[in-house]
Structure 1
Amino acid sequence: MPSLVTAVAPAPSTAALAHFEHSLQFETDCWDVHDALSSGQPDFVLLDVRSAEHYAAGHVPGATHLLRGKMVESRLADYPADTVFVTYCAGPHCNGAQRAAMRLAQLGRPVKIMIGGVTGWVDEGFALTPPQT
């Protein structure tokens, strides 16, 4: 008798490859963001889309705070049209990163989410900025 894992057969390898390649067009992870930020020349803009209070309590170093409701073309005008944005929020229990990514996509901007958010960042052992008082 198959387990719950194998009761539904895995996809053929070609379909699995297409699926996983496709998913990486939409998301990145905390480790890759950290590596890029550590280079000193990231090729994206990291957006923290949490509340101002949560951002002030500690955020990913190098992140810009921008709420989804403030994502309008005039606020993004200083960024070239091909700027890649990476959004994050609190963690896997929060859909703020996805909602912000949807908004950026509506504005025609290239975007990914950082899966894991702040929870993933901390789980990887990376530091947040100290709280701002």
Structure 2
Amino acid sequence: MAHFAGKLAAETDASDVHADQENGVLFVLVDSRGRSAWDQGRIAGAVHMPTAEIAARAPREIPRNVPVVTYCWGPGCNGSTRAALEFAKLGYEVKEMLGGFEYWAREGYPVETDRGRIVRAKDPLTAPLDAITCDC
């Protein structure tokens, strides 16, 4: 029980992050990828803070009493884990978003580029096509 409760305290997913955004929950969503990845597309409303810059920038830019959620490319990348560790070292309440940018986009949530917002069709392998949530 402690193992699973610990995971839920340190992890979230695209669906929960999107719901929190829609419901006005206060947190900062941090994209820890590099510039070329950010330019390719990012989660609407995210802050770009590559992992190597967190120690220097976070204390100046993100209040310590505001929770942070980190993300990177996707499940094949541990960049969000590294970023979450950097925030934890600084004393932030932090969660890692499972699935990263990949699953955010595949689940049909808004993606931003310098040209504007894009909403892709839901991938039926990651989200139900006829429901708002997977009810899990």
Relative to the length of structure 1, the TM-score reads 0.79
Amino acid at match of 1:28: T
- Whether 2:54 is the aligned partner of 1:71: answer yes
Provide closer, same or farther for how the CA distance between residues 78 and 65 of structure 1 changes in structure 2, counting only shifts above 3 A.
closer
What is the DSSP-based 3-state SS (H/G/I as helix, E as strand, rest coil) of the residue aligned with 1:47?
strand
Unaligned 5+ segments in structure 1 are 1-16
Coordinate RMSD, CA, aligned: 1.8
Say whether residues 1:32 and 2:35 are aligned partners: no
Instruction: Answer with 1 or 2: which has the greater Rg.
Output: 1
Residue deviations 1:11-58 (CA, integer Å, cap 9, x gap):
xxxxxx33222211100000010111123x231100001111111111
Higher RCO, Cα 8 Å, sep 6+: 1
Q: Is the alpha carbon distance of 1:130 and 1:71 closer, same or farther for their aligned partners in structure 2, counting shifts above 3 Å?
A: closer
Unaligned runs of 5+ residues in structure 2 are 117-136
Aligned partners of 1:76, 1:42: CA distance in 2, in Å?
A: 21
Residue 49 of structure 1 pairs with residue 32 of structure 2: yes
Aligned match of 2:6: 22
Which residue of structure 2 lines up, in the alignment, with residue 7 of structure 1? none
Which secondary structure does the structure 1 equivalent of 2:12 belong to?
Answer: strand
Per the normalisation by structure 2, the TM-score is: 0.77
> 2:87 is matched with which residue?
104
Change beyond 3 A, Cα 1:51–1:132: farther
Q: Any idea what the Cα deviations from partners look like across 1:52-77, whole Å, max 9, x if unmatched? A: 11111110000000011111255423
CA positional deviation for 1:125 = 1.7
- Percent sequence identity is 37
One-letter identity of the residue aligned with 1:130? T
